[in-house]
Amino acid sequence: MLNDKLKFSKKRFCAVITLACSLTVACTENRTSENTKNDSVLIFDGNSLKGWKQIVGTATYSVEDSAIVGTTVVDKANSFLVTEKEYDDFILELEAKIDDVSSNSGIQLRSHFNSPEKPGLVYGRQVEIDPSARSWTGGIYDEERRGWLYPLDKNPPAKNAFKVGQYNHFRIECIGRETRTWINGHPVAYVIDSIDRSGFIGLQVHAVDKPEEAGHKVFFRNISIRTENLQPAPFPADIPVADLTQSKP
Protein backbone atom coordinates (compact mmCIF):
# COMPACT_ATOMS: atom_id res chain seq x y z
CA MET A 1 0.00 0.00 0.00
CA LEU A 2 2.83 2.41 0.89
CA ASN A 3 4.57 1.66 -2.42
CA ASP A 4 1.34 2.38 -4.30
CA LYS A 5 1.00 5.74 -2.56
CA LEU A 6 4.60 6.61 -3.39
CA LYS A 7 4.05 5.70 -7.03
CA PHE A 8 0.88 7.82 -7.15
CA SER A 9 2.64 10.81 -5.57
CA LYS A 10 5.50 10.48 -8.02
CA LYS A 11 3.08 10.47 -10.96
CA ARG A 12 1.32 13.56 -9.60
CA PHE A 13 4.66 15.33 -9.12
CA CYS A 14 5.72 14.53 -12.70
CA ALA A 15 2.36 15.73 -14.04
CA VAL A 16 2.69 19.01 -12.15
CA ILE A 17 6.25 19.53 -13.44
CA THR A 18 5.14 18.77 -17.02
CA LEU A 19 2.23 21.22 -16.76
CA ALA A 20 4.51 23.91 -15.30
CA CYS A 21 7.01 23.46 -18.15
CA SER A 22 4.22 23.65 -20.72
CA LEU A 23 2.91 26.88 -19.19
CA THR A 24 6.41 28.34 -19.11
CA VAL A 25 6.94 27.54 -22.81
CA ALA A 26 3.52 28.98 -23.69
CA CYS A 27 4.20 32.17 -21.75
CA THR A 28 7.61 32.52 -23.38
CA GLU A 29 6.07 32.08 -26.84
CA ASN A 30 3.38 34.64 -26.02
CA ARG A 31 5.97 37.15 -24.81
CA THR A 32 8.06 36.59 -27.94
CA SER A 33 5.01 37.09 -30.14
CA GLU A 34 4.03 40.21 -28.20
CA ASN A 35 7.55 41.62 -28.40
CA THR A 36 7.61 41.07 -32.15
CA LYS A 37 4.24 42.76 -32.45
CA ASN A 38 5.40 45.65 -30.29
CA ASP A 39 8.29 46.34 -32.68
CA SER A 40 5.67 47.94 -34.95
CA VAL A 41 4.56 51.48 -34.18
CA LEU A 42 1.33 53.09 -35.35
CA ILE A 43 2.09 56.21 -37.40
CA PHE A 44 -1.60 57.13 -37.69
CA ASP A 45 -3.42 57.40 -34.38
CA GLY A 46 -6.88 56.80 -35.87
CA ASN A 47 -8.21 60.13 -34.61
CA SER A 48 -6.16 62.93 -36.15
CA LEU A 49 -3.56 63.75 -38.80
CA LYS A 50 -0.90 64.36 -36.16
CA GLY A 51 2.51 63.51 -37.61
CA TRP A 52 1.33 64.08 -41.18
CA LYS A 53 1.22 67.11 -43.48
CA GLN A 54 -0.17 67.87 -46.93
CA ILE A 55 2.47 69.31 -49.25
CA VAL A 56 1.06 69.23 -52.79
CA GLY A 57 -2.39 69.36 -54.38
CA THR A 58 -5.81 70.41 -53.19
CA ALA A 59 -7.51 67.06 -52.58
CA THR A 60 -8.95 66.88 -49.08
CA TYR A 61 -7.70 64.58 -46.33
CA SER A 62 -9.81 63.89 -43.27
CA VAL A 63 -10.27 61.25 -40.57
CA GLU A 64 -13.45 59.18 -40.68
CA ASP A 65 -14.15 55.98 -38.74
CA SER A 66 -10.48 55.57 -37.78
CA ALA A 67 -9.30 55.94 -41.37
CA ILE A 68 -7.53 58.64 -43.35
CA VAL A 69 -9.85 59.51 -46.21
CA GLY A 70 -8.54 61.27 -49.30
CA THR A 71 -11.19 62.80 -51.58
CA THR A 72 -10.55 63.82 -55.18
CA VAL A 73 -11.08 67.35 -56.43
CA VAL A 74 -10.57 68.79 -59.90
CA ASP A 75 -6.88 69.66 -59.92
CA LYS A 76 -3.94 69.32 -62.29
CA ALA A 77 -1.59 68.14 -59.53
CA ASN A 78 -1.57 64.90 -57.59
CA SER A 79 -2.09 65.47 -53.86
CA PHE A 80 0.13 64.01 -51.14
CA LEU A 81 -0.27 63.65 -47.40
CA VAL A 82 3.18 62.74 -46.05
CA THR A 83 4.83 61.84 -42.77
CA GLU A 84 6.69 64.61 -40.99
CA LYS A 85 9.35 62.05 -40.15
CA GLU A 86 11.69 60.39 -42.67
CA TYR A 87 12.55 56.69 -42.63
CA ASP A 88 15.35 54.52 -44.00
CA ASP A 89 14.88 50.75 -43.52
CA PHE A 90 11.37 49.67 -42.51
CA ILE A 91 8.47 47.28 -42.88
CA LEU A 92 5.23 49.17 -43.46
CA GLU A 93 1.81 47.58 -43.05
CA LEU A 94 -1.57 49.15 -43.64
CA GLU A 95 -5.03 48.60 -45.05
CA ALA A 96 -6.32 50.55 -48.04
CA LYS A 97 -9.65 50.75 -49.84
CA ILE A 98 -10.69 52.61 -52.97
CA ASP A 99 -14.32 53.09 -53.88
CA ASP A 100 -14.30 53.61 -57.65
CA VAL A 101 -12.54 51.92 -60.58
CA SER A 102 -11.85 55.29 -62.23
CA SER A 103 -9.83 56.46 -59.22
CA ASN A 104 -6.14 55.88 -58.59
CA SER A 105 -3.83 56.18 -55.62
CA GLY A 106 -0.50 55.11 -54.24
CA ILE A 107 1.85 54.93 -51.26
CA GLN A 108 5.10 56.86 -51.50
CA LEU A 109 8.24 55.26 -50.05
CA ARG A 110 11.48 57.04 -49.08
CA SER A 111 10.27 59.97 -51.15
CA HIS A 112 11.25 63.64 -51.43
CA PHE A 113 9.82 67.07 -52.21
CA ASN A 114 10.97 70.25 -53.90
CA SER A 115 14.58 69.63 -54.88
CA PRO A 116 16.43 71.87 -57.36
CA GLU A 117 15.89 69.19 -59.99
CA LYS A 118 12.20 68.71 -59.09
CA PRO A 119 10.92 72.11 -57.86
CA GLY A 120 7.49 71.89 -56.25
CA LEU A 121 7.18 68.16 -56.93
CA VAL A 122 6.97 64.98 -54.90
CA TYR A 123 9.19 62.28 -56.35
CA GLY A 124 10.25 58.78 -55.41
CA ARG A 125 9.12 55.17 -55.50
CA GLN A 126 5.41 54.54 -55.12
CA VAL A 127 3.42 51.38 -54.47
CA GLU A 128 0.50 51.62 -56.87
CA ILE A 129 -3.18 51.32 -55.94
CA ASP A 130 -4.89 50.63 -59.25
CA PRO A 131 -8.55 49.47 -59.23
CA SER A 132 -8.87 49.71 -63.03
CA ALA A 133 -9.06 46.73 -65.39
CA ARG A 134 -5.26 46.92 -65.72
CA SER A 135 -5.01 45.81 -62.05
CA TRP A 136 -1.45 46.83 -61.25
CA THR A 137 -2.00 47.33 -57.50
CA GLY A 138 1.19 46.52 -55.60
CA GLY A 139 3.38 47.35 -58.58
CA ILE A 140 6.13 49.92 -58.12
CA TYR A 141 6.20 53.26 -59.95
CA ASP A 142 8.78 56.05 -59.72
CA GLU A 143 6.72 59.23 -59.29
CA GLU A 144 7.91 62.19 -61.41
CA ARG A 145 11.14 60.44 -62.36
CA ARG A 146 11.65 57.08 -64.11
CA GLY A 147 8.08 55.83 -64.46
CA TRP A 148 7.24 52.15 -64.05
CA LEU A 149 9.88 50.05 -62.30
CA TYR A 150 7.72 47.00 -61.70
CA PRO A 151 4.49 46.82 -63.75
CA LEU A 152 2.43 43.76 -62.95
CA ASP A 153 3.01 42.34 -66.40
CA LYS A 154 6.09 40.98 -64.65
CA ASN A 155 3.87 39.04 -62.22
CA PRO A 156 0.41 38.55 -63.80
CA PRO A 157 -1.05 36.25 -61.09
CA ALA A 158 -0.70 39.12 -58.59
CA LYS A 159 -3.27 41.17 -60.52
CA ASN A 160 -6.04 39.25 -58.74
CA ALA A 161 -4.85 40.04 -55.20
CA PHE A 162 -6.49 43.47 -54.77
CA LYS A 163 -10.26 43.74 -54.21
CA VAL A 164 -12.07 46.96 -55.17
CA GLY A 165 -14.48 48.39 -52.61
CA GLN A 166 -13.05 46.62 -49.58
CA TYR A 167 -10.05 47.00 -47.32
CA ASN A 168 -6.90 45.28 -48.55
CA HIS A 169 -3.82 44.53 -46.48
CA PHE A 170 -0.51 45.91 -47.77
CA ARG A 171 2.91 44.75 -46.55
CA ILE A 172 5.82 46.78 -47.89
CA GLU A 173 9.44 46.04 -47.10
CA CYS A 174 12.14 48.65 -47.70
CA ILE A 175 15.35 47.07 -46.46
CA GLY A 176 18.66 48.20 -47.88
CA ARG A 177 18.36 48.42 -51.65
CA GLU A 178 15.35 46.09 -51.80
CA THR A 179 11.67 47.02 -51.99
CA ARG A 180 9.13 44.20 -51.89
CA THR A 181 5.35 44.25 -51.72
CA TRP A 182 2.50 41.94 -50.73
CA ILE A 183 -1.26 42.47 -51.17
CA ASN A 184 -3.55 40.41 -48.93
CA GLY A 185 -0.67 38.02 -48.30
CA HIS A 186 0.15 37.57 -52.00
CA PRO A 187 3.71 38.47 -53.09
CA VAL A 188 3.56 41.11 -55.82
CA ALA A 189 6.69 43.13 -56.65
CA TYR A 190 10.43 42.99 -55.99
CA VAL A 191 12.74 45.88 -56.93
CA ILE A 192 16.43 46.33 -56.20
CA ASP A 193 17.48 49.98 -56.54
CA SER A 194 20.50 52.00 -55.50
CA ILE A 195 18.85 55.40 -54.93
CA ASP A 196 16.65 56.87 -52.18
CA ARG A 197 17.89 55.13 -49.04
CA SER A 198 15.69 57.36 -46.86
CA GLY A 199 12.73 59.72 -47.18
CA PHE A 200 9.11 60.26 -46.17
CA ILE A 201 6.07 58.02 -46.58
CA GLY A 202 3.13 59.54 -48.43
CA LEU A 203 -0.50 58.84 -49.30
CA GLN A 204 -1.50 59.95 -52.79
CA VAL A 205 -4.82 61.15 -54.13
CA HIS A 206 -4.53 61.21 -57.90
CA ALA A 207 -5.44 64.35 -59.81
CA VAL A 208 -8.68 64.39 -61.83
CA ASP A 209 -9.71 66.83 -64.54
CA LYS A 210 -13.43 66.13 -64.94
CA PRO A 211 -16.12 67.34 -62.50
CA GLU A 212 -17.79 63.93 -62.52
CA GLU A 213 -14.55 62.38 -61.21
CA ALA A 214 -14.47 64.63 -58.15
CA GLY A 215 -15.65 63.26 -54.81
CA HIS A 216 -14.16 59.79 -55.16
CA LYS A 217 -12.47 58.48 -52.03
CA VAL A 218 -9.50 56.40 -51.00
CA PHE A 219 -9.19 55.09 -47.43
CA PHE A 220 -6.12 54.19 -45.35
CA ARG A 221 -6.18 52.70 -41.85
CA ASN A 222 -4.12 50.66 -39.36
CA ILE A 223 -0.89 52.20 -40.62
CA SER A 224 2.08 50.78 -38.72
CA ILE A 225 5.83 50.73 -39.28
CA ARG A 226 8.66 48.62 -37.95
CA THR A 227 12.19 50.01 -38.07
CA GLU A 228 14.04 47.58 -35.77
CA ASN A 229 14.48 43.80 -35.69
CA LEU A 230 13.45 43.64 -39.34
CA GLN A 231 12.73 40.12 -40.54
CA PRO A 232 12.07 39.91 -44.30
CA ALA A 233 9.19 37.66 -45.24
CA PRO A 234 9.80 34.74 -47.63
CA PHE A 235 9.38 35.72 -51.28
CA PRO A 236 8.94 33.06 -54.01
CA ALA A 237 12.08 32.55 -56.09
CA ASP A 238 10.09 32.15 -59.31
CA ILE A 239 8.70 35.72 -59.25
CA PRO A 240 10.81 38.07 -61.43
CA VAL A 241 13.06 40.64 -59.77
CA ALA A 242 13.63 44.10 -61.28
CA ASP A 243 17.29 44.76 -60.49
CA LEU A 244 17.99 48.39 -61.39
CA THR A 245 21.54 48.22 -60.05
CA GLN A 246 22.80 45.98 -62.85
CA SER A 247 24.99 47.74 -65.40
CA LYS A 248 23.44 48.16 -68.81
CA PRO A 249 25.30 48.22 -72.16
Each residue's pLDDT tens digit, 139-168: 999 999 999 999 999 999 999 999 999 999
17 pLDDT above the threshold of 70: no
User: Do the Cβ atoms of 229 and 36 come closer than 8 Å?
Assistant: yes
Which of 203, 213, 31 shows the shortest CA–CA distance to 111? 203
Question: 101: pLDDT confidence band, cut at 50, 70 and 90?
Answer: confident
Q: Is the pTM of this model over 0.85?
A: no
Quote the CA–CA distance of 156 and 74 in Å, as a whole number: 32
Which of 79, 97, 96, 92 shows the shortest CA–CA distance to 43? 92
Cα Rg, the chain, nearest whole Å: 23
Q: Residue 157 carries which DSSP code?
A: G
- Residue 93: alpha-carbon gap to chain centroid: 4
